[in-house]
Structure 1
Amino acid sequence: MSRARRRADLARMKKKARRVYPHDAQAKNADHLCTCSCLVCGNPRRHWGEIRPSERRALEAGREE
């Protein structure tokens, strides 16, 4: 990857960090913009073993036949 691409990506990430964290003028969180993965916000399939709605419909259709 070229230096210009890395610098452009960093500038884009800093711009987003300033939008997400307006109190951080220097955009120190630019490398840590991942969304939350806690139990409340995270993937229900990972935390509670739930299945997707499409899988649920397929299972119900199989039971009806």
Structure 2
Amino acid sequence: MGTTVQTRTLQAIFHESEQVIRQLTEQEIDEFKEAFLLFDKDGNGTISTKELGIAMRALGQNPTEQVNY
């Protein structure tokens, strides 16, 4: 289970995300959904780590296989 600091950090991130989402227009939401579908190759509604790597490379990033916690 996460520490109190981790829990508070996640709560802050979710709160900020909710504020940003509320400011999006319907057109912007549709554009994000369309972009998501481009990388959700198997159509299961999630982006796997493999699919995320593909998306990041498409955006010019060079992710490694290493996981940092």
Name the structure, 1 or 2, with higher relative contact order (CA <8 Å, separation 6+).
1
Say which one has the larger Rg. Answer: 1
TM-score, scaled to structure 1 = 0.34
TM-score, normalised to structure 2, is: 0.32
Structure having the higher helix fraction is 2
